[in-house]
């Protein structure tokens, strides 16, 4: 009895092991490759339970969903000799698990393959274009904080012929051609996630930016000096105009005063010519004779007319005074 039970248990155990090795389940997120003695025989993409030959066939599962590829930052020299670091990412999936298994075997090798293919495509394409084509997508006018920076940008005459989107599309096409369906991989998308100057170049970029700001500052200073010169010149011209008008007005007033004085002198001369002649003679004495002057002149001259008359008038005055006292 005991032997019969043991035999039955053994048979049940063997059947359980056979059944377990014969049936397998495929998750809806996965796909499978059935191998026999290490060689692939068929693929299974439908989810659910399936049957295989026990103990002879094995199962290799592969992801059916989109897989992420994240590349390292690569140093690239653009066509206009700008040394930049470019980082990219992509999305891919396994569309032919049998071909993928025979060519690569596991997903990690697929990631390694994409490292080579995509990074090579990025370097080849980006290096064929100037930096402005990689950075910008259109000729849209950029906004700047100052008018001078905007003018500096306009002087560069930046013209985008392809743009970033077209360059990314070219990278994607080149990477797909490199794969050429040999690996059972479909490269869904490639994008550039990072662009920056390499660390060795950044100080030079800052120096260039600093030089641009210094140039703008010098332009402001030059314009300020020019406006200062214009203001000072205008002020000087205005001052000279005011002084000229003031001098002209003063001369007119002085001329009018002189004319009025001459008129008064003329009227006085006509009314008392002898008095006018006497006063003028006295002024002449005052301006020509001093305590240090010595003149040798004829007393009959006109110059001493009033001096001689003064002596006669003085004697006559003395006689008149004596007569009054008597």
Q: Is the pLDDT of residue 302 over 70?
A: no
Give 288 or 87, the one with higher predicted confidence: 87
Q: Is the pLDDT of residue 313 over 70?
A: no
Least confident of 64-78, 190-204, 266-280: 266-280
CATH topology of domain 67-199: Tetrahydropterin Synthase; Chain A (3.30.479)
* Predicted confidence (pLDDT) per residue in 102-156, tens digit: 989 888 899 999 999 999 999 999 999 998 888 888 777 666 666 666 666 666 6
Structure tokens at 320: 């008149």
Question: What CA–CA distance (Å, rounded) separates 185 from 99?
Answer: 9
Domain range annotation of the chain: 2-63, 67-199, 273-312
pLDDT on residue 25 = 82
With b for 16 or more beta-carbon neighbours within 10 A and e for fewer, the 40-60 pattern comes to beebbeeeeeeebeeeebbeb
* Predicted confidence (pLDDT) per residue in 219-253, tens digit: 888 888 899 888 988 898 899 888 888 888 888 88
pLDDT on residue 304 = 62
pLDDT on residue 153 = 63
Residue 190 and residue 120 in contact, taking contact as beta carbons nearer than 8 Å: no
pTM of the full structure: 0.59
């Amino acid at each position: 009895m005991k032997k019969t039970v043991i035999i039955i248990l053994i048979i049940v155990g063997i059947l359980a092991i056979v059944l377990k090795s014969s049936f397998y389940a495929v998750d809806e997120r996965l796909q499978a490759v059935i191998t026999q003695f290490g060689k692939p025989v068929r693929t299974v993409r439908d989810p659910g339970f399936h049957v295989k030959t026990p103990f002879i066939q094995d199962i290799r599962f592969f992801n059916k969903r989109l897989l992420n590829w994240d590349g390292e930052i690569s140093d690239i020299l653009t066509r206009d000799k700008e040394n930049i670091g470019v980082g990219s990412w992509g999305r891919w999936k396994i569309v032919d698990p049998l071909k993928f298994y025979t060519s690569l075997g596991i997903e990690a090798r697929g990631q390694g393959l994409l490292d080579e293919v995509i990074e090579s495509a990025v370097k080849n394409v980006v290096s064929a274009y100037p930096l402005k084509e990689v950075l910008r997508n259109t000729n849209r006018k950029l906004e700047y904080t100052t008018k001078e920076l905007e003018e500096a940008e306009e002087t560069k005459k930046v013209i985008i012929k392809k743009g970033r989107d077209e360059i990314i599309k070219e990278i994607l096409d080149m990477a797909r051609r490199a794969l050429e369906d040999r690996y059972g991989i479909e490269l869904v998308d490639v994008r550039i996630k990072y662009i920056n100057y390499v660390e060795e170049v950044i100080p030079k970029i800052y120096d260039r930016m600093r030089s641009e700001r210094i140039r703008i500052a010098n332009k402001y200073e030059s314009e300020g000096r020019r406006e200062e010169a214009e203001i000072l010149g205008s002020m000087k011209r205005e001052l000279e105009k005011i002084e000229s008008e003031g001098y002209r007005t003063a001369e007119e007033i002085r001329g009018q005063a002189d004319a009025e004085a001459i008129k008064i002198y003329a009227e006085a001369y006509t009314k008392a010519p002898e008095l006018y002649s006497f006063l003028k003679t006295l002024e002449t004495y005052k301006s020509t004779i001093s305590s240090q002057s010595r003149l040798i002149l004829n007393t009959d001259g006109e110059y001493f007319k009033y001096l001689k008359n003064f002596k006669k008038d003085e004697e006559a005055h003395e006689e008149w005074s004596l007569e009054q006292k008597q």
